[in-house]
A and B are shown apart, each in its own frame.
Chain A
């Protein structure tokens, strides 16, 4: 078996097709879990490669190229597809064969792309995907006649069925023996109208018949796209997703925290007191635990996003919100990443991959941290409980109103920042919407699971890599040097973090922060909620997080002024207190430019807002 496999050279081919043609589902069907997701060098376009073996044991390597409407690109994604197909992309070998995935239920559109690619003289197999749906809904066509007209093999595929790619694999095996390297060709693409006429002629001779449209779905679409009813539906849906992310994730999050606590307890018991124990328990375990705890929220959120995307609803939501987002220069597609950022900015920034225009995408990434993520809640909760009286204001509670105001401040400033950025550094040329609203369909469980697994893997590998090293660094800064013998203050006061904090206190004095707050901000860089634990440490408290928060509230209420507390709240609306986010921005944009810029503008905003809040509060007697 090995010798047979060795004898046959690998065959490389690429999947090319329209957006929404089920190309990725077919890719998943062919390659299963043998996939590698990365970026193309130097750009933020996702590169998906997989491999599988045919019955002859020949190894096939498949590239899933971004969906295109034609080989004349309008986006970076489309340009990548064109360059790979033509063998023009540096560092990417030209595929030996193109499998053109055509949607059998939208053959007219696919046919124009097929004719475009065929004109380049590229060896090609046409895969009529969704052929089961087409048959069920009453589409008719003569497949053999189509192959004759095109002069290339045409096979039927059903990406969602376990045997749906067998015909394609058989055809690949037949072609592999005769395959030769593609000839790069820059022949002029024919006039669109001529191509359209040719496509119409072929559709006529193969007897392509489209069934009457589904009246029920059509009525549903009128409701979904209605300016009022559609918006209400979207609002209800978003509210439900939000609720689910926070309520369903609560139990598994508690379980993860409890699990981390059990491991920490066990390590503390079995290891002798010393550097190793401190590193493992306070550095690695505490640090990684504080990020992994968001995994349940991320899984639930992405399950919803992927299901909505698969069903065809997401582009419709983008249509509804295009006007609102467009008024600050963003695309309607920006709303899903921004929604995700309320749970955690990391999945939000990862979700910006669905925005095709690079500048729109960068603007969305830049404002994602302004959405109030759930890590800010512990800090808000502590400060509100300590300083804001639970007084009734009309039908509302003053504490609730303050919390709402903090969320609102984040959203409002995000819109303003987007507006400014899109008019200055991220000014983009006119970019059209031209968004296809695909037919509704049931999300496929297998694709959903694979998509979810991919997101979880990306998130976890980031936790495992750079974020972990940063956590260890912060632990080091907070633990060394050890306090001198006979020291009375908390250990952190004598550490590097303490020194940095004391130095920072000078910088932070104008906004009302004392040195205890300044010190807590340093370990708080790892994750915002760590600042609560750090404040506990500074005020010489120990115990569980909840216990610390409970004991801390009266203590800070007694020692801070109201102006300081309000200033700290304002600080937390903006402050880039999350290294993980900055690391992910670096990964997603392939440069340090944007994370540094993000940190700088957020610090500036945070300082400005805190300064203003502090001075105003003092002026109104909050000192």
Chain B
């Protein structure tokens, strides 16, 4: 990753309603979901389609902290809480 793209990345929560962007990275903070053989938060986000290079569009945001927000990715729409959305680093396009 080049220095310029690194400085240009934002958490998904920084996007406003109607903004489009492209996923640069999904930060893995090791948060486990489910049992010991389960997915981590970052892994599950990847399984839903939040992988580097994927186009995202913020469809709706709730007031106060953009939590939760609704995002379109890969032809599907997902509601994410702020905690999840912050892990997704995007570049505005």
Using a CB-CB cutoff of 8 Å, which residues 72-123 of chain A contact chain B? 72-75, 78-79, 82, 105-106, 108-109, 112
Q: Is the CB of B44 within 8 A of A434?
A: yes
A109 touches B76 (CB 8 A): yes
Flag if B59 contacts A225 (CB, 8 Å): yes
Q: Are A225 and B44 in contact (CB under 8 A)?
A: no
Using known A-B contacts A74-B39, A109-B48, determine if residue A79 contacts B68 with beta carbons closer than 8 Å: no
How many residues of B are in contact with the other chain, CB < 8 A? 37
Known pairs A70-B44, A75-B34; A323 contacts B68 (CB<8 A): yes
- How close is B58's CB to chain A, nearest CB, in angstroms? 11
Pick from B47, B67, B75, B81: contact of A72, CB below 8 A.
Answer: B47
How many inter-chain residue pairs (CB < 8 Å) link A and B? 120
Of the listed residues A72, A82, A431, the one surrounded by the most CB atoms of chain B closer than 10 A to its CB is: A72
Q: Which residues of B in the span 9-61 have a Cβ within 8 Å of any Cβ on A? A: 31-35, 37-39, 41, 43-49, 51-52, 59-61
Please tell me if the beta carbons of B62 and A323 are within 8 angstroms of each other in the complex: yes
A435, B38: Cα distance in complex, Å:
18
Q: Is B46 in contact with A196, judged by CB distance below 8 angstroms?
A: yes
- Residues from chain A with a CB closer than 8 A to the CB of B38 are 72-74, 79
Contact: A432 with B43, CB < 8 Å?
no
A74 and B75 contacting across the interface, CB-CB below 8 Å: no
When distances are taken between beta carbons in the complex, the residues of chain A under 8 Å from B79 are 315, 318-319, 322, 433-437
Contacts of A222 in B (CB 8 A): 59-60
Given known contacts A72-B38, A72-B43, is B80 in contact with A434 (CB within 8 Å)? yes
Chain B's closest residue to A225 (CB) is B60
Q: Once the chains bind, are A221 and B51 in contact (CB under 8 Å)?
A: no
Query: Residues of B with Cβ closer than 8 Å to A?
Result: 31-35, 37-39, 41, 43-49, 51-52, 59-64, 67-68, 70, 74-81, 83-84
22 example contacts (A-B, Cβ-Cβ < 8 A) are as follows: A72-B39, A73-B35, A74-B33, A74-B38, A75-B34, A79-B38, A109-B75, A192-B43, A192-B47, A196-B46, A210-B75, A222-B59, A322-B81, A430-B83, A432-B33, A433-B79, A433-B80, A434-B44, A434-B84, A436-B48, A436-B76, A436-B79
- Besides A429-B32, A438-B76, 8 more A-B contacts (Cβ < 8 Å) are A72-B34, A73-B34, A74-B33, A192-B43, A332-B68, A436-B48, A437-B78, A438-B77
